[in-house]
Structure 1
Amino acid sequence: MVLRLPALKRAVPVCRSLVRSWLDGQRIHDEDTRYLVLLVLSELFTNAIQHSAGTRVTCRISRAENLLRIEVHDRGGTPSVPRMRHPGQGQEHGRGLELVAKSSSQWGRRVEADSGCTVWAAVPLAAGVRHGVAP
């Protein structure tokens, strides 16, 4: 599934809602898996909005074997590349990628030819989730 949404905070819940529907269609009903997918998606989408000068964010979610792969691409416009921080207890921001790392089996980032950045994460499917493709 590919979603192209405006780089606005109010687009985050829209993206989550669309991905919930996609998860339903894929018959992924395990609440732990759904929670992790939506958490990772929210963090990546929010980071793209906050740290990019682009006007659109593209989200891709796909299923392969026992993983769900989430990719969020922004159109760049800033020289910074997302990196994990370790903020102090009193700091309110800076934990997004740390949450992504703890919630996924792997994650990464890459700078694209359009000067944008794609950040991705792989969330494992729970043992009880059916691995067949939904009809």
Structure 2
Amino acid sequence: MIPADCWRSVQCVVFRLPAVKRAVPICRNLVRAWLDGQSIHDDDTRYPVLLVLSELFSNAIQYSASRHVTCRIWRSESLLHIEVHDRGGTPSVPRMRRPGQAQEHGRGLELVAKSSSRWGRRTEADNGCTVWAAIPLTTGVPSGLAP
């Protein structure tokens, strides 16, 4: 496990993981450690960050032909920003669906939309896809770097 104080002064963290399902919890653990280093302990911020990250990372694995997925997270004054980039390789475009009650899948981007103040996607120069979200920091979360 990465100690939280390793990322205390790091305002932005970027990591690249294999595009496999077992990388999702690793991704969450890395972001948890970064949140700890940023002194963001409030569940009203942490829970949506980890949910959005999990959904975007899982979608990149499922709907792209990427061998790796790159995640980037940083904070501004009042928001946490998450970007998940894959290399594309499939004609699938991230879009919100309205699955029926009995369907088990298809709610990921709806959860992202409900958990963030805004989200979107962009096609990159490498023909890859970046899906991003901005999540409000709750009041009581320190805006400066941890001491």
TM range (shorter): over 0.9
Structure 2 unaligned regions, length at least 5: 1-12
Aligned counterpart, 1:62? 74
Aligned counterpart, 1:50? 62
2:102 maps to which of 90, 102, 106? 90
Aligned counterpart, 2:40? 28
Q: What CA distance in whole angstroms lies between the structure 2 residues aligned with 1:37 and 1:24?
A: 13
Q: What CA distance in whole angstroms lies between the structure 1 residues aligned with 2:146 and 2:84?
A: 24
Q: TM-score, normalised by structure 2?
A: 0.90
Q: What CA distance in whole angstroms lies between the structure 2 residues aligned with 1:82 and 1:37?
A: 19
Aligned counterpart, 1:133? 145
User: Residues 77-134 of structure 1: CA distance to partner in whole angstroms, max 9, x if unpaired?
Assistant: 0112100001110111100000000000000001111111000000000011111122
In the alignment of these two chains, the number of paired residues is 135
Structure 1 unaligned regions, length at least 5: none
Q: TM-score, normalised by structure 1?
A: 0.98
Aligned-pair Cα RMSD in Å: 0.7
Counterpart residue identity of residue 36, structure 1: P
